[in-house]
Amino acid sequence: MQIKNLKKHYLLLFVTLLAMFLVYPSQWYPFDMRLTLTSWFGAENYRALPQSTITPNSQSELACPNDPSGWRASQIIDGVSIEESLPCLADNPYGVAAFVLGTNNVSKETLQRSGLTSDAIVKGRDLDGDGDPDEIHIRLEVAELNGSSPISKRPVTTYDIAPGIQPGIWVFAPKLIGMAVENFETQEARYSLKLPSPAIRVEQGDVVKITLENTHYMPHTLHLHGADHGFIDNTGEGNDGVPLTSELPILPGQSRTYNLTPRKAGTMFYHCHVQPHVHVQMGLQGLFIIEENRPNNNLQTMNLGAGKVRAPSQSLKESYDSEYDLHYLDLDKELGARIQDNNDPRLITQSMHRDYDITDANVDFFTLNGRSFPYTFRESLIVSREGEKAKLRVVNGGSKGIALHTHGHKFTVIERDGVKLPKSNQTPQDVLWMATSQRYDLDLSFINDGTRTYGPGIWLYHDHQNKGTTTDGIGPGGNISAIVDKEYLDESGWPMTRGVGYSQYFSADYYKKKIPIWESYIPSFYAEPAKDNILLFRILLLMLFFGSFLAILRSLYTQRKKG
Amino acid sequence: MINQKLWVILLSLIFMHQSHGLQHSMSEDYGSMVMSSNHNNLPLGCERISGEENIIVSAGQRYAKDIPGTIYGMNQHEWDVDPCTRVTVTFINEDDVRHQWMVHGLPKYLYPAGMFYIEAMGGKTATGTFIVPSEDRNYLVHCDMTQHMEMGMRGQLVVGEGSGDLWAVTGITDPFYRASYLPDNLIYLSLVVLFLGYSVTSWLVRMRQKR
CA angle A260, A177, B41 (to 5 degrees): 155
Q: What pLDDT sits at residue B23?
A: 37
Does A370 fall in a domain?
A: no
A265 & A118 share domain = yes
For chain B, the structural domain boundaries read 2-159, 181-211
Does A50 fall in a domain?
A: no
Q: Would you call A223 helix, strand, or coil by DSSP? A: strand
Q: CB of A175 within 8 Å of any CB in chain B?
A: yes
A486 & A536 share domain = no
Q: What pLDDT sits at residue B127?
A: 96
**Chain B neighbors of A151, CB-CB under 8 A:** 167-168, 175-177
How many angstroms away from the CA of B22 is the closest CA of chain A? 9
Nearest CA in chain B to A116: B31
Tell me if A345 and B167 make a contact (CB, 8 A cut-off).
no
Domain of A157: which CATH number?
Answer: 2.60.40.420
Residue A470 structural domain? 376-516
Please tell me the distance from the alpha carbon of residue A345 to that of residue A252, in angstroms, as a whole number: 11
Give the residue from B40, B55, B66, B26 showing the smallest Cα distance to B141: B55
Nearest CA in chain B to A152: B177
Residues of chain A with pLDDT below 50 are none
If one counts the domains in chain A, the total is: 3
A243 & A381 share domain = no
Architecture of domain B2-159: Sandwich (2.60)
pLDDT at B5 over 90: no
Q: CB of B184 within 8 Å of any CB in chain A?
A: no
Does A60 fall in a domain?
A: no
3-state helix, strand, coil in chain B (%, to 5): 25, 30, 45
Distance of CA B152 to the CA centre of its chain: 8
Please tell me the distance from the alpha carbon of residue A341 to that of residue A159, in angstroms, as a whole number: 17
A224 & A104 share domain = yes
List B residues 74-93 in contact with A (Cβ-Cβ < 8 A).
none
List B residues 102-141 in contact with A (Cβ-Cβ < 8 A).
102, 104, 113-115, 117, 119, 121-122
Q: What pLDDT sits at residue A56?
A: 84
Q: Looking at residues B183-198, what average pLDDT do you find? A: 95
pLDDT at B9 over 60: no
CB atoms under 10 Å from CB of B82, counted, come to 14
pLDDT at B28 over 70: no
**Chain A neighbors of B150, CB-CB under 8 A:** 147-150, 156, 343
A191 & A305 share domain = yes
CB atoms under 10 Å from CB of B105, counted, come to 15
Mutate to test the interface with B, among A66, A91, A156, A217 (most CBs of B within 10 A): A217
pLDDT at B184 over 70: yes
CB A369, CB A305: distance < 8 Å: yes
Q: Would you call A480 helix, strand, or coil by DSSP? A: coil
How many angstroms away from the CA of A546 is the closest CA of chain B? 32
Nearest by CB to B61, which of A119, A147, A252?
A252
Q: What pLDDT sits at residue A84?
A: 96
CB B106, CB B133: distance < 8 Å: yes
Q: What pLDDT sits at residue B209?
A: 87
Q: Would you call B54 helix, strand, or coil by DSSP? A: strand
Q: What pLDDT sits at residue A185?
A: 83
| CB within 8 Å of A323: residues ≥ 6 apart | A308, A309, A312, A313, A316, A390, A391, A392, A393
Does A488 fall in a domain?
A: yes
Does A66 fall in a domain?
A: no
Does A164 fall in a domain?
A: yes
CB A231, CB A241: distance < 8 Å: no
Nearest by CB to B18, which of A115, A150, A213?
A115
The β-bridge relationship of strands B32-35 and B116-120 is: antiparallel
Please tell me the distance from the alpha carbon of residue A321 to that of residue A388, in angstroms, as a whole number: 6
A134 & A157 share domain = yes
Predicted ipTM > 0.85: yes
pTM: 0.91
| CB within 8 Å of B12: residues ≥ 6 apart | B21, B22, B23, B24
Please tell me the distance from the alpha carbon of residue B130 to that of residue B26, in angstroms, as a whole number: 12
Tell me if B18 and A141 make a contact (CB, 8 A cut-off).
no
Q: Which DSSP letter does residue B114 get?
A: G
Does A272 fall in a domain?
A: yes
Tell me if B146 and A213 make a contact (CB, 8 A cut-off).
no
Q: Which DSSP letter does residue A162 get?
A: B
pLDDT at B101 over 70: yes
SS3 letters for A85-151?
CCCCCCCCHHHHHHHHHCCCCCCHHHHHHHCECCCCEEECCCCCCCCCCCEEEEEEEEEEECECCCC
pLDDT at B169 over 90: yes
